[in-house]
Structure 1
Amino acid sequence: MISKRFVPNILTVFRVLITPVCLYFILSTGPFYSLYAMILFLIASVTDAVDGWYARKYDVTTEFGKFLDPLADKILVMTMFVAFGLKGLAPWWMIFIVLFRDIFVTLLRSVMIRRGQSMHTSKFAKAKTGIQMFMIYFILTFLAIENIPVFDPFYSFLDKLLIDKHLLWVMMLLTSMITLYSGILYLFENKHVFTKKT
């Protein structure tokens, strides 16, 4: 029987393992592959909520888990945005902003954990996460309905609105700018990390 203290980390590792499978379905051309990708992403999102709830409920939070959980989240989110870039749904410079911010915050968090410090997370950073997740679900839904005949009229309307009228470009621009701003906030709110002790 699995010890309670390992359950959150097992769920987190499972989320990491789902990520490349999700990427495969997004980039492949099977009739329902994008739908499978959306379902897998939903499962991954649920495990993120469950492992945090479980760790708090049974008081099995560990330092390893505190590092691994947000890292798994960032791997999942960054992979999705890379997939959107590979499919030509967003300019690469916007994708790079998201990647750079999340890599920077991950490195900053690892430095602070090694020093025994806690990272200050602002409400704006949580809002940024919500906006990123909305964009991912929105795009995955758009891709998922492409090959489902009953949704053909709706997909054609969305395709014209999002692609031809560049609405998706604007939405991605706002997402990348909000992501960049949240990274700048992280830098200022945790600037003591870069201050030498006297």
Structure 2
Amino acid sequence: MKKLLLLLSCLLTAVLFSGCGIQHPDTVSYVLEAEPSRLDPAMTTALVESNVELQIFEGLTRLDDDDVPQPALAESWDISPDGKTYTFHLRPGIEWSDGTPITAGDIEYSWKRVVDPDVASENAYMLFCIDKAEDYFNKKAPADAVGVKAVDDRTLVVRLKEPTPYFLNLTAFHCYYPVPRKLVEAKPDTWAADADGMICSGPYKIVSW
């Protein structure tokens, strides 16, 4: 007997089209195999959650049909000759779904949150290619030592331990998505567990769950 799929209505209303500022009212409905536990990209590990997070969050890059990283929140990037330093330049005018700007500081906060030992994310290892990220996770270095720094609102500098040719692919992975710091700190346990007041960075926003 075939396993019955649980029909969930994660109704998503388009408020942003990849941050370009053009509004396209539309609805997307998903049939998922299970109820998402929460939609915190730093903490989730199952495909159920990541399928929804892909619609409501955006990373610095997004993979195309050939798994080649393409510009997303970042419009461009520079790589140092030794392959260890990446400088990302964010697109102008990108916003959270509540209309506030998405900044490089949001990304610095979000990435350091993933490797924060007190957060204890199961995805932390995905950022261990970043200089001192693993040391911070193991409480051998402070957060300020981690090789992620917002130089200004639109410039993020990332320092890696060693050259990592697939790093741009990693920045499209869900634990690299920025999360809204103000909301996360105000509601650390519930901000990503229901649609009420949830703030997103991607092309869609959940309006009911």
Do both proteins adopt the same fold according to a TM-score greater than 0.5, normalized to the shorter chain? Answer: no
Structure with more relative contact order (C-alpha pairs < 8 Å, separation 6 or more): 2
**TM-score of the two chains, using structure 1 as the length reference:** 0.28
- Quick check: which one's strand share is greater? 2
**TM-score of the two chains, using structure 2 as the length reference:** 0.27
If you compute each CA radius of gyration, which structure gives the higher value, 1 or 2?
Answer: 1
- Quick check: which one's helix share is greater? 1
